[in-house]
């Protein structure tokens, strides 16, 4: 196993990345601060080139290749963000890149990878299978650029920690999403040197939490960027030594964080990137004083964003779906909708259901999707429907 990078390696990486990786901004969120009960800062790495922190490690790795290695090209395996980063860095350096991507990877990330000029090979149902498929290219002489288990890649990711230490020297806690562990390892190495008293907390999604005792290591999650069954051996050693804690967040908490960041902070963040905010808002990271959440990436499919938004808004009482009965005669639906409109409710969708339910003769079932203010408003509308004589079932 290779040795972990030192602070000197991180500083050398920072010199190589000057003019390549952006110095991403930090900003304080009053909204998140109120919810968390402490000052909350955000490190917006979702605004980084290619939409995530991965460009730091990929570009640093390619910058260290020999002329012979550059001639033979590079290969990588990734669920999306690392793929884009390697593709972009290879294009800029004039190096051929072949990227192996799981077949169910988000299409926005796959299309972006192709757009940067890499050859994309769809293979397997997850990262491990995609990586295994990439070995043939490695055997042919290409250099494998690992997403996290490489000290040069880790050093590149660690430049984010060097930036953060200068931007927020008084921060008390830093919260970092963990998949393979490259980002958290790099940041931890930087912060332990520059801000030795800072509390460093890693976050994993509940479905993929190998660093948590009895944590799950498989299943569905919207945080595909951290859906890794096993962190690297090197990164695990670093994280065990340098992290203060590792916590988990559920998908519905991540979804709520995505919507919160979109609505109140005006930032588009993917599931993995929002995991840190989800943990902060849930009060799970511990410590006192100012906390900084790392927004590791912003590459989310538009379709996924729509689905997540609908789910989170419905769960928060912003949408209400109900089924009720009305008389099957002209004017009955208009009467119902007029009453609902009087409660300042917007009707999004209406569907008649005459078959498939236990509907009394002379009635028809109606399913309504309503736009409401909050959960309290939902309860008020449901009570009103019953008062008006419409037996109502809440669907979601």
Q: Which residues are marked as active site?
A: 54, 296
Dist CA 332 CA 389 (whole Å): 12
Q: Nearest 5°: CA angle at 26, between 91 and 170?
A: 130
Token code pair at residue 272: 């993995």
Token code pair at residue 155: 């050093």
Distances in Å between the Cα of 234 and the Cα atoms of 2, 225, 239, 292 are 7, 19, 9, 25
Dist CA 353 CA 368 (whole Å): 11
Element (H, E) at 356: none
Query: Cβ neighbours of residue 345 under 8 Å, at least 6 residues apart?
Result: 320, 370, 371, 372, 377, 381
Dist CA 152 CA 383 (whole Å): 61
Q: Across-strand partners of 246?
A: 202
SS3 51: helix
Q: Tokens 């169910």, residue? A: 104
Token code pair at residue 42: 């955000």
Exposure string of 298-324, with b = 16+ CB inside 10 Å and e = fewer, is bbbbeebbeebbbbbbbebebbbebbb
Asked whether the beta carbons of 174 and 148 are under 8 A apart, the reply is no
Query: Cβ neighbours of residue 260 under 8 Å, at least 6 residues apart?
Result: 31, 32, 277, 281
Q: What are phi and psi of 326, to 5 degrees?
A: -130, 160
The sheet carrying 346-353 orders its strands as 346-353, 363-371, 319-327, 392-394
């Amino acid at each position: 196993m290779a040795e972990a990078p030192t602070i000197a390696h991180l500083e050398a990486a920072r010199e190589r990345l000057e003019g390549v990786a952006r110095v991403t901004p930090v900003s304080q969120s009053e909204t998140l601060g109120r919810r968390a009960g402490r000052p909350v800062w955000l490190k917006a790495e979702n605004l980084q080139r290619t939409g995530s922190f991965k460009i730091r490690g990929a570009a640093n790795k390619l910058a260290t290749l020999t002329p012979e290695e550059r001639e033979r090209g590079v290969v990588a395996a990734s669920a999306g963000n690392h793929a884009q980063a390697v593709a972009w860095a290879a294009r800029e350096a004039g190096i051929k890149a072949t990227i192996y991507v799981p077949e169910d990877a988000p299409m926005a990330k796959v299309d972006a990878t192709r757009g940067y000029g890499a050859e994309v090979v769809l293979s397997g149902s997850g990262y491990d299978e995609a990586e295994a498929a990439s070995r043939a290219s490695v055997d042919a002489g290409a250099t494998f650029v690992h997403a996290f288990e490489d000290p040069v890649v880790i050093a590149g990711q660690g430049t984010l920690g060097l930036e953060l230490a200068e931007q927020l020297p008084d921060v008390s806690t830093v919260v970092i999403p963990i998949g393979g562990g490259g980002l958290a390892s790099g940041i931890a190495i930087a912060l332990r040197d520059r801000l030795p008293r800072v509390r460093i907390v890693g976050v994993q999604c509940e479905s993929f939490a190998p660093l948590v005792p009895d944590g799950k290591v498989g299943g569905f999650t919207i945080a595909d960027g951290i859906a890794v069954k096993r962190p690297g051996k090197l990164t695990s050693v670093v994280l065990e030594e340098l992290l203060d804690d590792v916590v988990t967040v559920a998908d519905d908490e991540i979804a709520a964080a995505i919507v919160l960041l979109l609505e109140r902070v005006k930032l588009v963040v993917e599931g993995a990137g929002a995991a840190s905010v989800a943990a902060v808002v849930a009060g799970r990271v511990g410590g006192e004083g100012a906390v900084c959440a790392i927004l590791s990436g912003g590459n989310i499919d538009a379709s996924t964003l729509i689905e997540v938004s609908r789910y989170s808004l419905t769960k928060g009482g912003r949408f209400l779906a109900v089924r009720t009965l009305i008389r099957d005669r002209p004017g009955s639906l208009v009467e119902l909708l007029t009453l609902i409109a009087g409660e300042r409710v917007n009707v999004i969708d209406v569907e008649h259901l005459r078959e498939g339910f236990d509907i009394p003769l002379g009635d028809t079932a109606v399913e309504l999707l309503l736009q409401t203010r909050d959960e309290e408003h939902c309860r008020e509308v449901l009570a009103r429907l019953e008062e008006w004589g419409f037996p109502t079932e809440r669907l979601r």
